[in-house]
Chain A
Amino acid sequence: MHIPDGYLSPETCGVFGAVMIPIWTAASKAVKKTLSVRQVPYLAIGAAFSFVIMMFNVPIPGGSTGHAVGGVLVAILLGPWAACIAVTVALVIQALLFGDGGITAIGANCFNMAFVLPFVGYYVYKLISSNSPSGSVRRVIAAGAGAYVGICVAALFAGIEFGFQPLLYHTANGQALYCPYGLNVAVPAMVLGHLMVFGWVEVIVTALVIKYLQKQNSVFFEGGRS
């Protein structure tokens, strides 16, 4: 889901960069309120954790592997605003130092993976888990459902961003200047891939990790340390 440089037009990148600025500001304020002065090491380690999650390849049917984004897992553990910052930091490091995900597309990548994914997933998790006991199976199911819905909605947004490119940016003879596939191709390609494969990787990772954490220490999945 990491969008590289060149897939989106500079205008699209600019719009998403502008959209993310108030979100990052709100996230900083929200985190400052809940995490006080301890926020820096806690956030830095949360960001490193979210980076490391993206490196775990999970075996999937057919002998292949896929990696999870872990945005919903981090949101359940740290809270959605802290997850927004942690995933943003991970994405910035990936783009700047490892060339994974574009620098110009950092706004769009953060919108999909640091905003849509953790927030949608977290609130689906909250909705399903409701007031169930912290060690209940319902929370494991809620975490899996949140992860699945979160990543699929994020993929839908990525598909829409790709799909608008040939509609908005093309030459006089119709030649696409950026991502060449319209909404009719880009949206199903992104969404189906996540509905069928990557969504399940996210479910497996998120649900199993929550299950293990329940066994070890249930205090960590109360939506951060607030």
Chain B
Amino acid sequence: MSSTLHKRRDFIERSILSALAFLKEATLSEEYANRKGFLQSLDPRFKTISFLAFLVTAVSLKSAALIGTLYGFCLILAFFSNIPIRNFLLRTLLFIPLFSLCIVLPTLFSIVTPGEPVWSFRVLGINGIITRPGMDGAILFVVRIATSVSLVVLLSLTTQHSELLKVLRLFGVPQVFVLTVSMCYRYLYLFATMVENIFTAVKSRVGVVSHQRHGQNVVAWNIANTWNRTTQMSEEIYMAMLSRGYTGEPRLLSKFYAMPKDWIWLLCAVIICAGLFYRGHT
């Protein structure tokens, strides 16, 4: 019992190091993006535009069945892109959709959403009535969120992150902003490693940080220390950029080549979205 309590209160191990490990894993493991698969073979620009179109379609449709069709299509794409379906489902369904399901549960009941009763029960002397509009609304909400999250995760998994960030230029985002985003992304891993090393050092010296107040101080000191090191680093990075010929006007290298396959894919995506919109309005 005491060891369980001890373990539970070791917030460094439980929350900080695990969160940082996730960040490092996510930033480094472009394993799926480097695999051979259908989505990996597409030009990132065309893929991003098509996925944005799917996303807007999923958010705009008002029928759970049609959004579900898009979700099914997303799973098929994941399969043909060599993404393990079990891992994909775990990653996409366990967090935001499950959280959304919890949020939307009260709306199932007549007390929140009045309407035609579908099922009634009695628990601890309280009558519960699930209504048709409540159930339909909850299904629509959760299916839409599951589909949206799946689309974004699939795009992110099958595209190299640096390329995905470069695609931002397509949408008229200023070059300086794109460069800032790209540089920020690169330094995330460095910061994550820096913070992880500090916490490991703290842990090796003081053991388990179980007291709440002590834990708060450790976090605050760590953030302050990270800030000091980042400001020092920004000067060094600027000098390094100058030494490599940075003149204040950023230039990004991008080698995107569109193939006939990319145009066909884009056409298919437009047809699918238009078809779903058409079905949704008739």
Q: Which residues of A contact B (CB under 8 A)?
A: 4-7, 9-10, 13, 28, 37-49, 51-53, 55-61, 63, 65, 70, 73, 77, 85, 89-90, 92-93, 95-99, 102-104, 171, 173-181, 204-205, 208-209, 211-213, 216-217, 220
A-B pairs with beta carbons under 8 Å apart, 12 shown: A39-B176, A43-B180, A47-B184, A51-B184, A56-B219, A57-B16, A63-B9, A89-B180, A89-B181, A174-B133, A175-B113, A179-B141
Q: Could you tell me the dominant secondary structure of chain B's interface residues?
A: helix
Q: State how many angstroms separate the Cβ of A40 from the closest Cβ of chain B.
A: 6
Residue of B nearest to A49 (CB): B230
- By CB atoms of chain B within 10 A, which of A9, A205, A209, A217 has the most? A209
> Could you tell me if A41 and B133 are in contact, using CB atoms closer than 8 angstroms?
no
Question: Chain A residues with Cβ under 8 A from B258's Cβ?
Answer: none
> Could you tell me if B62 and A47 are in contact, using CB atoms closer than 8 angstroms?
no
Complex: A38 Cα to B176 Cα, angstroms: 12
User: Quick one: which of B127-180 are within 8 Å of A by CB?
Assistant: 133, 136-138, 140-141, 144-145, 147-149, 152-153, 156, 161, 164-165, 168, 174, 176-177, 179-180
Partner of B181, one of A92, A205, A209: A92
Residue of B nearest to A104 (CB): B59
What is the number of contacts between chain A and chain B, taking CB atoms within 8 Å? Answer: 219
Q: Could you tell me the dominant secondary structure of chain A's interface residues?
A: helix
> Could you tell me if B152 and A49 are in contact, using CB atoms closer than 8 angstroms?
no
Complex: A83 Cα to B248 Cα, angstroms: 21
Question: Chain A residues with Cβ under 8 A from B156's Cβ?
Answer: 96-99
> Could you tell me if B19 and A208 are in contact, using CB atoms closer than 8 angstroms?
no
> Could you tell me if B191 and A48 are in contact, using CB atoms closer than 8 angstroms?
yes
Question: Chain B residues with Cβ under 8 A from A40's Cβ?
Answer: 176, 179-180, 183, 241, 250
Query: Given A99-B149, A178-B141, A204-B220, are A44 and B9 also a contact pair (CB < 8 Å)?
Result: no
Question: Chain B residues with Cβ under 8 A from A99's Cβ?
Answer: 92, 96, 149, 152-153, 156
> Could you tell me if A44 and B228 are in contact, using CB atoms closer than 8 angstroms?
no
* B115 CB-CB contact with A under 8 Å: yes
Complex: A201 Cα to B165 Cα, angstroms: 31
Complex: A90 Cα to B221 Cα, angstroms: 22
Q: State how many angstroms separate the Cβ of A34 from the closest Cβ of chain B.
A: 14
Partner of B62, one of A56, A97, A171: A171
Complex: A101 Cα to B205 Cα, angstroms: 37
- Say which size band chain B's interface belongs to: 35 or more
Question: Chain A residues with Cβ under 8 A from B96's Cβ?
Answer: 4, 99
Partner of A45, one of B168, B181, B187: B187
Complex: A209 Cα to B195 Cα, angstroms: 15
Q: State how many angstroms separate the Cβ of A219 from the closest Cβ of chain B.
A: 10
Residue of A nearest to B62 (CB): A177
> Could you tell me if A38 and B148 are in contact, using CB atoms closer than 8 angstroms?
no
> Could you tell me if A41 and B222 are in contact, using CB atoms closer than 8 angstroms?
no
Partner of B227, one of A44, A60, A213: A213
With A96-B165, A209-B220 given, name 14 new contacts (CB 8 A): A4-B148, A28-B174, A40-B183, A45-B187, A48-B185, A49-B191, A51-B188, A55-B16, A85-B180, A95-B152, A174-B133, A208-B217, A208-B224, A213-B227
- By CB atoms of chain A within 10 A, which of B107, B180, B215, B222 has the most? B180
Q: State how many angstroms separate the Cβ of B231 from the closest Cβ of chain A.
A: 7
> Could you tell me if B221 and A10 are in contact, using CB atoms closer than 8 angstroms?
no
User: Quick one: which of B221-236 are within 8 Å of A by CB?
Assistant: 221-228, 230-231, 233-234
> Could you tell me if A175 and B137 are in contact, using CB atoms closer than 8 angstroms?
yes
User: What does the 1/0 interface line of B2-23 toward A look like (CB < 8 Å)?
Assistant: 0000001101001110011001
